[in-house]
Each structure stands twice: as C-alpha cells, then as structure tokens.
Amino acid sequence: MAIRLEDSTGKTVANPTAQQVRDTVGRIGGDLDHCILELADGGFLQTAGSRGQLFIEYGDQTGSLQEAERNYDNESAGDVFVLAMRSPAEALAQLGVDGVGAGQSGSRARAAGATGTAGASGAASAAAGITGSDAAGAASRASLKDTILSTAKQQASREVQFTLRRFIRRAVGMVLGKRRF
C-alpha cells in the first residue's frame, strides 16, 4: 500500500514528499481544516485544530483511534507526520501512543470530549454494552467530529466576512464613482 496524503479540500497526493507533508500540515488552521496521512502499513495519522494547537490521532487497520498526549504546533506536527512516513513505530512513540487498540495506555479522551461526550453518553454506552476502551474511542471520534465542525464553521465565517467586505468595498467604490476591487 502506498502512502497517501489527503487534505480537507479533498486534494490527494500519492507518495508525497516530506516537504509536501510539512506544507500541508503547516496550512492547518489557515486555509485547511484537517489532513490525513495514510501510511504504508494501513494505519493513518490525522490532524485538525487551530493554528499552533493541533491534535494528532493515530488510527490502525482495525479502526481504533488513539490521540497524542498533547497538542502540537504546525511545524512539530509536520515533523511527526514526516517521521511516520519513514518509521511509523518511532512516530507513535513520539506521540505517546502504542498503536494497539484505542483503549491502551497511550490513549486519552480530549478534555472537551471527556466531560461532554463521554460523560453524557456513559449511561447510553453502558446500556449498549460499550465499555472502557470502546467508549474512549467513541469519545475521541466524537471529539474529532466536533473539532472539525467547529473549524469548518470558523472557516465559513471568515469566508462570509471576506465576501461581505469585498461587496461593501465595491458598493462604496461604485457610489463614489471609483472602481475598487
């Protein structure tokens, strides 16, 4: 299986260079909301967040997710992604995850997910027979979804503001008899 990089716009690069990976991760929190690096062993790394405060998750072939123990700035996250291209095991060690199931020692629920999603769904999880690591993985996935949605809303808000400013500049320019763009 080849390494593949996909960003939030849907652009996919097969066998990306280290610089392409660093550039893409560097744009998270700016014009990109998230990116996913699919590794040759079938696992993947994904990151999202705001500029300078990215979280990284590792997913394996079974679908379990583990989140890094801390947030990363864009440059450090890019370095971890590049390391994962060469040596997934070293990258996982740097992230503080073990790469074996979502409930293992390296995983944790994000602070927002632990108090919100996991706490609110604890009874529902127990009723459904979901316990321990499954619930932590569900909380982590829900947290990623919440983060991506929040980032998408922020980006949409910026786009609306930009469009409104441009419209106002053009309208004022027309009223004043100047063509401004």
Taking the mean position of all CA atoms in its chain, how far away is CA 70? 13
pLDDT of residue 74: 92
**Which residues, in sequence order, are bridge partners of residue 50?**
53
- In this prediction, residue 176 carries a pLDDT of 73
- Cα–Cα distance measured from residue 76 to residue 19, given in angstroms and rounded to the nearest whole number: 13
pLDDT recorded at residue 104: 35
pLDDT at 142: 58
pTM value?
A: 0.55
Per-residue pLDDT of the chain (181 residues; tens, 9 = 90+): 689 999 999 999 999 999 999 999 999 999 999 999 999 988 899 999 888 889 898 888 777 778 887 789 999 999 999 999 998 889 888 888 765 543 333 333 333 333 222 333 333 333 334 344 444 455 555 567 777 777 777 777 777 776 777 777 777 767 776 554 4
